Amino acid sequence: MTEPGVLMLILFFSAVLYVVFKRRIARSSLSLPPGPKKLPLIGNLFDLPTTSPWEAYHEWSKMFNTDIIHLSVAGTSIIVLDTYDAATELLEKRSSIYSGRVQLPMLNDLMGWNFDFAFMDYGDVWRDHRRLMNDFFNPSASKQFRAQELKAARRLLVRLLNNTDDITWNLRQMAGEIIISVAYGLQTKPKDDPYIRIAEQGVHPILEVSVPGAYLVDTIPLLKYVPSWLPGAGFKRQAQKWKELAQKMVNVPYETMKSNMEKGIANPCFVLSCLQKITEGEDPIYNEYNIKCVAGTLFQGIVAGSDTTVSLMSWSIITFLELPEIMVKVQQEIDSVVQLGHLPDFNDENSMPYLTAVIKEILRWKVVGPLGLPHQLQAEDEYRGYRIPVGSLVVANVWHMLQDETVYPEPSKFIPERFMGKGSDVEAAEHQLNVFWGFGRRICPGRHLAFSSVWIALVSILSVFDIVKAKDENGNVIEPVIECPPSLLLSPLPFKCEFRPCSKEAEAMIRSVIDDL
Protein backbone atom coordinates (compact mmCIF):
# COMPACT_ATOMS: atom_id res chain seq x y z
CA MET A 1 0.00 0.00 0.00
CA THR A 2 1.31 3.46 -0.85
CA GLU A 3 2.12 5.97 1.85
CA PRO A 4 -0.92 8.19 1.07
CA GLY A 5 -3.09 5.05 1.23
CA VAL A 6 -1.73 4.14 4.67
CA LEU A 7 -2.32 7.71 5.83
CA MET A 8 -5.93 7.64 4.59
CA LEU A 9 -6.50 4.31 6.39
CA ILE A 10 -5.10 5.71 9.64
CA LEU A 11 -7.30 8.81 9.32
CA PHE A 12 -10.37 6.67 8.63
CA PHE A 13 -9.90 4.43 11.68
CA SER A 14 -9.04 7.44 13.82
CA ALA A 15 -12.32 9.07 12.79
CA VAL A 16 -14.25 5.89 13.59
CA LEU A 17 -12.61 5.58 17.02
CA TYR A 18 -13.31 9.24 17.71
CA VAL A 19 -17.01 8.88 16.88
CA VAL A 20 -17.34 5.71 18.97
CA PHE A 21 -15.50 7.28 21.91
CA LYS A 22 -17.55 10.47 21.67
CA ARG A 23 -20.82 8.50 21.62
CA ARG A 24 -19.76 6.49 24.66
CA ILE A 25 -18.89 9.63 26.57
CA ALA A 26 -22.21 11.22 25.57
CA ARG A 27 -24.18 8.12 26.50
CA SER A 28 -22.47 7.71 29.86
CA SER A 29 -23.50 11.26 30.73
CA LEU A 30 -27.17 10.45 30.17
CA SER A 31 -29.40 9.92 33.17
CA LEU A 32 -31.05 6.62 33.98
CA PRO A 33 -34.81 6.29 33.45
CA PRO A 34 -36.92 7.63 36.33
CA GLY A 35 -37.93 5.44 39.24
CA PRO A 36 -38.25 5.29 43.03
CA LYS A 37 -35.41 6.81 45.02
CA LYS A 38 -32.57 4.37 45.61
CA LEU A 39 -30.74 3.65 48.86
CA PRO A 40 -26.95 3.12 48.95
CA LEU A 41 -25.85 -0.43 48.10
CA ILE A 42 -29.30 -2.06 48.28
CA GLY A 43 -31.00 0.33 45.84
CA ASN A 44 -34.76 -0.39 45.63
CA LEU A 45 -34.61 -3.70 47.47
CA PHE A 46 -37.29 -2.62 49.97
CA ASP A 47 -39.42 -0.97 47.29
CA LEU A 48 -40.06 -4.14 45.31
CA PRO A 49 -43.75 -5.04 45.62
CA THR A 50 -44.50 -8.52 46.94
CA THR A 51 -48.01 -8.75 45.50
CA SER A 52 -49.22 -7.75 42.03
CA PRO A 53 -45.96 -6.02 41.05
CA TRP A 54 -47.35 -5.29 37.58
CA GLU A 55 -49.89 -2.93 39.15
CA ALA A 56 -47.22 -1.20 41.23
CA TYR A 57 -44.99 -0.76 38.17
CA HIS A 58 -47.85 0.84 36.27
CA GLU A 59 -48.56 3.21 39.16
CA TRP A 60 -44.90 4.24 39.20
CA SER A 61 -45.03 4.83 35.46
CA LYS A 62 -48.01 7.13 35.94
CA MET A 63 -46.37 8.86 38.92
CA PHE A 64 -43.20 9.63 36.96
CA ASN A 65 -45.08 10.23 33.68
CA THR A 66 -42.96 7.74 31.76
CA ASP A 67 -43.31 4.45 29.92
CA ILE A 68 -39.94 3.21 31.19
CA ILE A 69 -38.79 3.01 34.80
CA HIS A 70 -35.49 1.99 36.39
CA LEU A 71 -34.93 -0.01 39.55
CA SER A 72 -31.73 -1.19 41.15
CA VAL A 73 -31.51 -4.18 43.47
CA ALA A 74 -28.14 -4.72 45.09
CA GLY A 75 -26.37 -3.58 41.95
CA THR A 76 -28.65 -5.32 39.45
CA SER A 77 -30.23 -2.89 37.00
CA ILE A 78 -33.89 -3.57 36.21
CA ILE A 79 -35.79 -1.82 33.41
CA VAL A 80 -39.60 -2.05 33.31
CA LEU A 81 -41.37 -1.21 30.05
CA ASP A 82 -44.96 -0.17 30.70
CA THR A 83 -46.34 0.38 27.20
CA TYR A 84 -46.64 -1.54 23.97
CA ASP A 85 -44.71 1.15 22.09
CA ALA A 86 -41.73 0.97 24.46
CA ALA A 87 -41.68 -2.84 24.44
CA THR A 88 -41.96 -2.96 20.65
CA GLU A 89 -39.18 -0.40 20.15
CA LEU A 90 -36.70 -2.19 22.40
CA LEU A 91 -37.63 -5.88 22.53
CA GLU A 92 -38.77 -6.14 18.90
CA LYS A 93 -36.92 -3.57 16.81
CA ARG A 94 -33.69 -3.86 18.81
CA SER A 95 -34.01 -7.56 19.54
CA SER A 96 -30.41 -8.20 18.44
CA ILE A 97 -29.22 -6.76 21.77
CA TYR A 98 -32.34 -7.37 23.89
CA SER A 99 -32.60 -11.15 23.52
CA GLY A 100 -30.21 -12.26 26.24
CA ARG A 101 -31.07 -14.44 29.23
CA VAL A 102 -29.61 -14.28 32.72
CA GLN A 103 -27.15 -17.13 33.11
CA LEU A 104 -27.25 -18.98 36.43
CA PRO A 105 -24.11 -21.12 36.90
CA MET A 106 -25.97 -23.51 39.21
CA LEU A 107 -28.69 -24.18 36.65
CA ASN A 108 -26.92 -23.89 33.32
CA ASP A 109 -23.46 -25.23 34.10
CA LEU A 110 -23.60 -27.46 37.17
CA MET A 111 -27.09 -28.94 36.67
CA GLY A 112 -26.66 -29.33 32.92
CA TRP A 113 -29.63 -27.28 31.79
CA ASN A 114 -27.58 -25.60 29.07
CA PHE A 115 -29.38 -27.96 26.64
CA ASP A 116 -32.62 -25.98 27.05
CA PHE A 117 -32.74 -22.98 24.72
CA ALA A 118 -35.36 -21.36 26.94
CA PHE A 119 -32.53 -20.80 29.46
CA MET A 120 -29.80 -20.41 26.87
CA ASP A 121 -28.19 -17.03 26.23
CA TYR A 122 -28.62 -15.51 22.80
CA GLY A 123 -26.03 -16.77 20.31
CA ASP A 124 -25.30 -19.22 17.50
CA VAL A 125 -26.36 -22.38 19.37
CA TRP A 126 -29.57 -20.71 20.49
CA ARG A 127 -30.30 -19.65 16.91
CA ASP A 128 -29.84 -23.22 15.62
CA HIS A 129 -32.16 -24.69 18.25
CA ARG A 130 -34.72 -21.96 17.73
CA ARG A 131 -34.70 -22.46 13.97
CA LEU A 132 -35.13 -26.20 14.32
CA MET A 133 -38.10 -25.58 16.62
CA ASN A 134 -39.61 -23.05 14.26
CA ASP A 135 -39.36 -25.46 11.30
CA PHE A 136 -41.94 -27.69 13.00
CA PHE A 137 -44.03 -25.30 15.09
CA ASN A 138 -44.68 -22.34 12.81
CA PRO A 139 -48.37 -21.68 12.03
CA SER A 140 -48.44 -24.01 9.03
CA ALA A 141 -46.16 -26.82 10.22
CA SER A 142 -47.77 -27.12 13.65
CA LYS A 143 -50.99 -28.31 12.00
CA GLN A 144 -49.35 -31.71 11.41
CA PHE A 145 -49.80 -32.40 15.13
CA ARG A 146 -53.54 -31.79 15.23
CA ALA A 147 -54.34 -35.50 15.32
CA GLN A 148 -52.45 -35.78 18.63
CA GLU A 149 -54.26 -32.73 20.01
CA LEU A 150 -57.65 -34.09 18.97
CA LYS A 151 -56.99 -37.46 20.57
CA ALA A 152 -55.91 -35.84 23.85
CA ALA A 153 -59.04 -33.66 23.85
CA ARG A 154 -61.29 -36.70 23.36
CA ARG A 155 -59.52 -38.51 26.20
CA LEU A 156 -60.13 -35.46 28.36
CA LEU A 157 -63.88 -35.78 27.76
CA VAL A 158 -63.84 -39.35 29.05
CA ARG A 159 -61.91 -38.35 32.18
CA LEU A 160 -64.23 -35.43 32.91
CA LEU A 161 -67.23 -37.74 32.61
CA ASN A 162 -65.77 -40.19 35.10
CA ASN A 163 -63.88 -37.90 37.48
CA THR A 164 -64.11 -34.16 38.08
CA ASP A 165 -62.61 -34.20 41.58
CA ASP A 166 -59.26 -32.98 40.28
CA ILE A 167 -59.84 -30.70 37.30
CA THR A 168 -56.27 -29.41 37.25
CA TRP A 169 -54.85 -32.94 37.08
CA ASN A 170 -57.17 -33.77 34.17
CA LEU A 171 -56.04 -30.67 32.27
CA ARG A 172 -52.36 -31.33 33.00
CA GLN A 173 -52.75 -34.94 31.84
CA MET A 174 -54.17 -33.68 28.54
CA ALA A 175 -51.30 -31.19 28.07
CA GLY A 176 -48.75 -33.87 28.94
CA GLU A 177 -50.22 -36.33 26.46
CA ILE A 178 -49.98 -33.76 23.68
CA ILE A 179 -46.35 -32.87 24.38
CA ILE A 180 -45.14 -36.48 24.73
CA SER A 181 -46.90 -37.61 21.56
CA VAL A 182 -45.83 -34.51 19.59
CA ALA A 183 -42.19 -34.71 20.70
CA TYR A 184 -41.58 -38.47 20.74
CA GLY A 185 -44.69 -40.19 19.39
CA LEU A 186 -45.11 -42.00 22.72
CA GLN A 187 -48.39 -42.84 24.42
CA THR A 188 -49.05 -42.10 28.09
CA LYS A 189 -50.71 -44.19 30.76
CA PRO A 190 -53.92 -42.88 32.37
CA LYS A 191 -52.28 -42.80 35.81
CA ASP A 192 -48.71 -42.50 37.08
CA ASP A 193 -47.21 -42.32 33.62
CA PRO A 194 -43.42 -42.99 33.78
CA TYR A 195 -42.56 -40.31 31.23
CA ILE A 196 -44.53 -37.62 33.02
CA ARG A 197 -42.91 -38.74 36.29
CA ILE A 198 -39.43 -38.43 34.73
CA ALA A 199 -40.24 -34.91 33.52
CA GLU A 200 -41.55 -33.87 36.93
CA GLN A 201 -38.44 -35.20 38.69
CA GLY A 202 -36.17 -33.44 36.20
CA VAL A 203 -37.91 -30.07 36.26
CA HIS A 204 -38.80 -29.82 39.95
CA PRO A 205 -35.29 -28.67 41.05
CA ILE A 206 -35.63 -25.57 38.83
CA LEU A 207 -38.21 -24.19 41.27
CA GLU A 208 -35.62 -24.22 44.06
CA VAL A 209 -32.70 -23.01 41.96
CA SER A 210 -34.64 -20.09 40.45
CA VAL A 211 -35.18 -18.41 43.83
CA PRO A 212 -32.90 -15.31 43.82
CA GLY A 213 -29.93 -15.76 46.15
CA ALA A 214 -30.61 -19.44 46.74
CA TYR A 215 -27.06 -20.41 45.73
CA LEU A 216 -23.92 -18.35 46.28
CA VAL A 217 -22.37 -19.74 43.08
CA ASP A 218 -24.85 -17.63 41.08
CA THR A 219 -23.38 -14.54 42.72
CA ILE A 220 -19.75 -15.75 42.62
CA PRO A 221 -19.49 -17.89 39.43
CA LEU A 222 -15.88 -18.91 40.19
CA LEU A 223 -17.26 -21.19 42.91
CA LYS A 224 -18.38 -23.63 40.22
CA TYR A 225 -14.73 -24.69 39.90
CA VAL A 226 -14.47 -25.66 43.59
CA PRO A 227 -13.90 -29.46 44.04
CA SER A 228 -17.10 -31.17 45.19
CA TRP A 229 -15.29 -32.93 48.06
CA LEU A 230 -14.38 -29.68 49.81
CA PRO A 231 -16.37 -28.69 52.92
CA GLY A 232 -19.08 -26.23 51.94
CA ALA A 233 -19.27 -27.55 48.38
CA GLY A 234 -22.47 -29.50 49.03
CA PHE A 235 -24.15 -27.45 46.29
CA LYS A 236 -21.96 -29.21 43.72
CA ARG A 237 -22.92 -32.66 44.98
CA GLN A 238 -26.58 -31.67 44.93
CA ALA A 239 -26.19 -30.24 41.43
CA GLN A 240 -24.74 -33.56 40.23
CA LYS A 241 -27.81 -35.46 41.48
CA TRP A 242 -30.10 -32.98 39.76
CA LYS A 243 -28.00 -33.17 36.60
CA GLU A 244 -28.56 -36.93 36.47
CA LEU A 245 -32.33 -36.37 36.67
CA ALA A 246 -32.14 -33.79 33.85
CA GLN A 247 -30.09 -36.15 31.68
CA LYS A 248 -32.56 -38.96 32.33
CA MET A 249 -35.37 -36.65 31.23
CA VAL A 250 -33.54 -35.84 28.00
CA ASN A 251 -32.25 -39.35 27.21
CA VAL A 252 -34.97 -41.86 28.19
CA PRO A 253 -37.83 -40.81 25.89
CA TYR A 254 -35.38 -40.00 23.09
CA GLU A 255 -33.78 -43.46 23.20
CA THR A 256 -37.21 -45.09 23.42
CA MET A 257 -38.29 -43.25 20.30
CA LYS A 258 -35.10 -44.26 18.45
CA SER A 259 -35.70 -47.88 19.45
CA ASN A 260 -39.25 -47.69 18.09
CA MET A 261 -37.88 -46.19 14.89
CA GLU A 262 -35.46 -49.12 14.44
CA LYS A 263 -38.31 -51.56 15.03
CA GLY A 264 -40.48 -49.77 12.48
CA ILE A 265 -43.19 -48.93 15.04
CA ALA A 266 -42.45 -45.23 15.62
CA ASN A 267 -45.40 -42.86 15.47
CA PRO A 268 -45.17 -39.56 13.54
CA CYS A 269 -43.56 -36.93 15.77
CA PHE A 270 -40.95 -34.18 15.97
CA VAL A 271 -37.97 -36.48 16.68
CA LEU A 272 -38.87 -38.96 13.93
CA SER A 273 -39.14 -36.20 11.32
CA CYS A 274 -35.84 -34.67 12.45
CA LEU A 275 -33.96 -37.97 12.39
CA GLN A 276 -35.24 -38.64 8.89
CA LYS A 277 -33.83 -35.28 7.81
CA ILE A 278 -30.37 -36.32 9.00
CA THR A 279 -30.27 -38.95 6.26
CA GLU A 280 -31.03 -36.25 3.70
CA GLY A 281 -27.87 -34.46 4.87
CA GLU A 282 -28.86 -31.09 3.44
CA ASP A 283 -28.97 -29.01 6.62
CA PRO A 284 -26.26 -29.22 9.33
CA ILE A 285 -28.62 -28.08 12.10
CA TYR A 286 -30.24 -31.52 11.85
CA ASN A 287 -27.85 -33.49 14.01
CA GLU A 288 -28.51 -35.72 17.01
CA TYR A 289 -27.24 -33.22 19.57
CA ASN A 290 -29.58 -30.45 18.38
CA ILE A 291 -32.52 -32.82 17.98
CA LYS A 292 -32.12 -34.33 21.45
CA CYS A 293 -31.75 -30.89 23.07
CA VAL A 294 -34.78 -29.36 21.38
CA ALA A 295 -36.88 -32.45 22.09
CA GLY A 296 -35.75 -32.21 25.73
CA THR A 297 -36.85 -28.57 25.77
CA LEU A 298 -40.25 -29.68 24.52
CA PHE A 299 -40.39 -32.54 27.02
CA GLN A 300 -39.69 -30.36 30.07
CA GLY A 301 -42.70 -28.38 28.88
CA ILE A 302 -44.88 -31.16 30.33
CA VAL A 303 -44.24 -29.52 33.69
CA ALA A 304 -43.18 -25.97 32.80
CA GLY A 305 -44.53 -25.10 29.36
CA SER A 306 -47.83 -26.93 29.80
CA ASP A 307 -48.53 -24.60 32.73
CA THR A 308 -49.53 -22.00 30.15
CA THR A 309 -52.02 -24.38 28.50
CA VAL A 310 -53.34 -25.60 31.86
CA SER A 311 -53.66 -22.03 33.13
CA LEU A 312 -55.52 -20.92 30.01
CA MET A 313 -57.88 -23.88 30.28
CA SER A 314 -58.45 -23.23 34.00
CA TRP A 315 -59.20 -19.53 33.41
CA SER A 316 -61.54 -20.49 30.56
CA ILE A 317 -63.54 -22.77 32.85
CA ILE A 318 -63.63 -20.06 35.54
CA THR A 319 -64.84 -17.55 32.94
CA PHE A 320 -67.74 -19.83 31.98
CA LEU A 321 -68.63 -20.23 35.67
CA GLU A 322 -68.58 -16.48 36.19
CA LEU A 323 -70.31 -15.63 32.87
CA PRO A 324 -72.61 -18.55 31.95
CA GLU A 325 -74.21 -16.45 29.22
CA ILE A 326 -70.89 -16.54 27.34
CA MET A 327 -70.85 -20.34 27.57
CA VAL A 328 -74.39 -20.51 26.21
CA LYS A 329 -73.48 -18.34 23.20
CA VAL A 330 -70.49 -20.57 22.44
CA GLN A 331 -72.66 -23.68 22.69
CA GLN A 332 -75.21 -22.16 20.33
CA GLU A 333 -72.44 -21.51 17.81
CA ILE A 334 -71.21 -25.10 18.16
CA ASP A 335 -74.74 -26.49 17.67
CA SER A 336 -75.17 -24.38 14.53
CA VAL A 337 -71.98 -25.77 12.98
CA VAL A 338 -71.45 -29.36 14.18
CA GLN A 339 -73.65 -32.07 12.73
CA LEU A 340 -75.98 -33.72 15.25
CA GLY A 341 -74.45 -36.85 16.76
CA HIS A 342 -70.87 -35.80 15.96
CA LEU A 343 -68.07 -34.26 17.98
CA PRO A 344 -66.34 -31.13 16.63
CA ASP A 345 -62.86 -31.20 15.12
CA PHE A 346 -60.42 -28.73 13.58
CA ASN A 347 -62.39 -28.62 10.31
CA ASP A 348 -64.99 -26.58 12.22
CA GLU A 349 -62.58 -23.92 13.45
CA ASN A 350 -63.12 -21.34 10.70
CA SER A 351 -66.88 -21.59 11.21
CA MET A 352 -66.66 -20.68 14.91
CA PRO A 353 -65.36 -17.09 15.10
CA TYR A 354 -67.12 -16.43 18.42
CA LEU A 355 -65.33 -19.25 20.28
CA THR A 356 -61.99 -18.09 18.88
CA ALA A 357 -62.77 -14.52 19.98
CA VAL A 358 -63.73 -15.79 23.45
CA ILE A 359 -60.37 -17.54 23.86
CA LYS A 360 -58.52 -14.40 22.74
CA GLU A 361 -60.47 -12.31 25.22
CA ILE A 362 -59.60 -14.79 28.00
CA LEU A 363 -55.93 -14.35 27.07
CA ARG A 364 -56.38 -10.60 27.48
CA TRP A 365 -58.74 -10.64 30.49
CA LYS A 366 -56.87 -13.19 32.63
CA VAL A 367 -53.23 -12.50 31.83
CA VAL A 368 -51.33 -15.70 32.64
CA GLY A 369 -47.86 -14.11 32.47
CA PRO A 370 -48.35 -10.50 33.61
CA LEU A 371 -44.61 -9.69 33.43
CA GLY A 372 -43.43 -12.31 30.97
CA LEU A 373 -39.87 -13.60 31.23
CA PRO A 374 -37.08 -11.00 31.67
CA HIS A 375 -34.69 -10.32 28.82
CA GLN A 376 -31.10 -9.24 29.41
CA LEU A 377 -29.55 -6.34 27.55
CA GLN A 378 -26.28 -7.34 25.88
CA ALA A 379 -24.97 -3.87 25.00
CA GLU A 380 -25.28 -0.34 26.38
CA ASP A 381 -28.29 1.40 24.86
CA GLU A 382 -30.23 4.66 24.83
CA TYR A 383 -34.00 5.22 24.76
CA ARG A 384 -35.72 8.61 24.75
CA GLY A 385 -32.66 10.29 26.12
CA TYR A 386 -32.19 7.78 28.93
CA ARG A 387 -29.21 5.47 29.39
CA ILE A 388 -29.96 1.76 29.68
CA PRO A 389 -26.97 -0.04 31.23
CA VAL A 390 -25.59 -3.20 29.65
CA GLY A 391 -26.61 -6.29 31.60
CA SER A 392 -29.95 -4.78 32.67
CA LEU A 393 -32.87 -7.13 33.20
CA VAL A 394 -35.66 -5.85 30.95
CA VAL A 395 -39.22 -6.65 31.98
CA ALA A 396 -42.36 -5.91 29.96
CA ASN A 397 -45.54 -5.06 31.85
CA VAL A 398 -47.74 -7.33 29.74
CA TRP A 399 -50.62 -6.92 32.19
CA HIS A 400 -50.94 -3.19 31.53
CA MET A 401 -50.50 -3.61 27.77
CA LEU A 402 -53.51 -5.96 27.73
CA GLN A 403 -55.49 -3.61 29.99
CA ASP A 404 -54.68 -0.51 27.93
CA GLU A 405 -58.01 1.28 27.57
CA THR A 406 -56.85 3.13 24.45
CA VAL A 407 -56.78 -0.25 22.67
CA TYR A 408 -59.28 -2.18 24.81
CA PRO A 409 -62.10 0.16 25.91
CA GLU A 410 -63.58 -0.84 29.28
CA PRO A 411 -60.72 -3.30 29.84
CA SER A 412 -62.22 -4.79 33.02
CA LYS A 413 -65.22 -6.07 31.03
CA PHE A 414 -65.27 -9.35 29.12
CA ILE A 415 -66.04 -8.39 25.52
CA PRO A 416 -65.11 -11.07 22.94
CA GLU A 417 -66.45 -8.88 20.15
CA ARG A 418 -63.21 -6.85 20.38
CA PHE A 419 -61.67 -9.59 18.25
CA MET A 420 -64.47 -10.05 15.73
CA GLY A 421 -65.07 -8.41 12.38
CA LYS A 422 -62.73 -6.07 10.57
CA GLY A 423 -61.42 -2.56 11.01
CA SER A 424 -58.51 -0.73 12.58
CA ASP A 425 -59.77 -1.28 16.14
CA VAL A 426 -59.93 -5.05 15.72
CA GLU A 427 -56.57 -5.07 13.96
CA ALA A 428 -54.96 -3.10 16.81
CA ALA A 429 -56.53 -5.39 19.43
CA GLU A 430 -55.25 -8.49 17.61
CA HIS A 431 -51.79 -7.04 17.10
CA GLN A 432 -51.29 -5.99 20.70
CA LEU A 433 -52.59 -9.35 21.99
CA ASN A 434 -49.38 -10.93 20.68
CA VAL A 435 -47.55 -9.58 23.75
CA PHE A 436 -49.19 -12.44 25.66
CA TRP A 437 -46.66 -14.78 24.02
CA GLY A 438 -43.55 -12.65 24.50
CA PHE A 439 -41.43 -10.38 22.33
CA GLY A 440 -38.93 -10.40 19.51
CA ARG A 441 -36.67 -13.39 19.14
CA ARG A 442 -37.80 -14.70 22.53
CA ILE A 443 -41.47 -15.01 21.60
CA CYS A 444 -42.90 -18.41 22.57
CA PRO A 445 -42.19 -20.80 19.66
CA GLY A 446 -44.97 -23.17 20.76
CA ARG A 447 -47.72 -20.54 20.83
CA HIS A 448 -49.57 -21.90 17.79
CA LEU A 449 -49.65 -25.42 19.24
CA ALA A 450 -50.75 -24.05 22.64
CA PHE A 451 -53.61 -22.00 21.17
CA SER A 452 -54.92 -24.85 19.00
CA SER A 453 -54.72 -27.25 21.98
CA VAL A 454 -56.87 -24.90 24.05
CA TRP A 455 -59.30 -24.39 21.16
CA ILE A 456 -59.91 -28.09 20.48
CA ALA A 457 -60.21 -28.87 24.19
CA LEU A 458 -62.79 -26.13 24.82
CA VAL A 459 -64.88 -26.82 21.73
CA SER A 460 -64.91 -30.51 22.65
CA ILE A 461 -65.95 -29.85 26.26
CA LEU A 462 -68.69 -27.34 25.43
CA SER A 463 -70.14 -29.58 22.71
CA VAL A 464 -71.13 -32.20 25.31
CA PHE A 465 -70.93 -30.59 28.78
CA ASP A 466 -72.47 -27.72 30.69
CA ILE A 467 -69.94 -26.29 33.13
CA VAL A 468 -71.77 -25.45 36.36
CA LYS A 469 -70.89 -24.62 39.94
CA ALA A 470 -70.54 -27.60 42.24
CA LYS A 471 -72.97 -28.34 45.09
CA ASP A 472 -72.41 -29.74 48.56
CA GLU A 473 -74.18 -32.76 50.06
CA ASN A 474 -77.12 -30.52 51.01
CA GLY A 475 -77.55 -29.21 47.50
CA ASN A 476 -76.11 -25.78 48.25
CA VAL A 477 -74.05 -24.12 45.52
CA ILE A 478 -70.32 -23.99 46.25
CA GLU A 479 -68.94 -20.68 45.07
CA PRO A 480 -65.49 -21.37 43.62
CA VAL A 481 -62.67 -19.74 45.56
CA ILE A 482 -60.11 -18.52 43.05
CA GLU A 483 -56.60 -18.13 44.42
CA CYS A 484 -53.28 -17.74 42.64
CA PRO A 485 -49.99 -18.53 44.39
CA PRO A 486 -47.13 -16.06 43.83
CA SER A 487 -45.37 -17.05 40.62
CA LEU A 488 -44.25 -15.87 37.19
CA LEU A 489 -47.49 -17.44 35.95
CA LEU A 490 -50.92 -16.52 37.30
CA SER A 491 -52.38 -20.00 37.51
CA PRO A 492 -55.40 -20.65 39.76
CA LEU A 493 -55.15 -23.21 42.52
CA PRO A 494 -57.44 -26.26 42.17
CA PHE A 495 -61.13 -25.35 42.37
CA LYS A 496 -64.37 -27.27 42.19
CA CYS A 497 -67.09 -27.32 39.54
CA GLU A 498 -69.22 -29.87 37.67
CA PHE A 499 -69.10 -30.99 34.06
CA ARG A 500 -72.70 -32.02 33.44
CA PRO A 501 -73.50 -33.83 30.16
CA CYS A 502 -75.85 -31.68 28.07
CA SER A 503 -78.04 -34.69 27.30
CA LYS A 504 -78.16 -38.49 27.34
CA GLU A 505 -77.10 -38.39 23.70
CA ALA A 506 -74.06 -36.28 24.63
CA GLU A 507 -73.10 -38.76 27.36
CA ALA A 508 -73.46 -41.63 24.90
CA MET A 509 -71.19 -39.82 22.44
CA ILE A 510 -68.51 -39.44 25.09
CA ARG A 511 -68.69 -43.13 25.99
CA SER A 512 -68.48 -44.10 22.33
CA VAL A 513 -65.17 -42.23 22.12
CA ILE A 514 -63.53 -44.85 24.36
CA ASP A 515 -63.70 -47.43 21.59
CA ASP A 516 -61.81 -45.12 19.22
CA LEU A 517 -58.97 -44.45 21.67
What CATH number is given to the structural domain containing 251? 1.10.630.10
Gap between the Cα atoms of 74 and 94, Å rounded: 27
Residue 21 and residue 147 in one domain? no
12/122 same-domain check:
no
Residue 75 is assigned to a structural domain of this protein: no
387 belongs to a structural domain: yes
Which residues make beta-bridge pairs with 498? 468
At residue 123, does pLDDT exceed 70? yes
Q: What is the DSSP string of 87-109?
A: HIIIIITTTTTS-B----IIIII
As annotated, the binding site includes 444
Which range marks the domain in which residue 312 is found? Answer: 115-516
Partners of 381 in the beta sheet? 388
Q: Dump pLDDT digits (tens) for 135-181.
A: 999 999 999 999 999 999 999 999 999 877 788 888 988 988 999 99
Q: Compute the half-sphere exposure of residue 283: CA atoms within 13 Å on the CB side of its CA.
A: 13
DSSP track, 229-278? TSTT-HHHHHHHHHHHHHHHHHHHHHHHHHHHHHHT-PPS-HHHHHHHHH
Distance in angstroms (rounded) separating the CA atoms of residues 415 and 364: 10
Model pLDDT for residues 256-268, shown as the tens digit of each residue: 999 999 999 999 9
Question: Residues 35, 64: contact at Cβ < 8 Å?
Answer: yes
- Give the rounded percent of residues in the chain with a pLDDT score beyond 70: 91
Confirm whether 101 is domain-assigned: no
Half-sphere exposure of 124 (CA within 13 A, CB side): 2
Straight-line distance from the first to the last Cα atom of the chain, in angstroms, rounded to the nearest whole number: 77
Average pLDDT, integer, range 114-137: 91
Residue stretches of the annotated binding site for heme? 444
Is 91 part of a structural domain of the chain? no
Residue 254 pLDDT > 90: yes
Flag whether 85 is in a domain: no
As a whole number, the mean pLDDT across the chain is 88
**Are 431 and 286 found together in one domain?**
yes
**What is the distance, to the nearest Å, from the Cα of residue 119 to the centroid of all Cα atoms in its chain?**
12
Return the pLDDT at 400: 97
pLDDT interval class at 343 (50, 70, 90): very high
Interval 487-509: pLDDT, tens: 667 888 888 899 999 999 999 99
- DSSP letters, 160-224, are HHH--S-HHHHHHHHHHHHHHHHHH-PPPPSSS-HHHHHHHHHHHHHHHHTSTTS-GGGTSGGGG
Number of domains in the chain: 2
Instruction: Identify which has the larger pLDDT, 9 or 372.
Output: 372
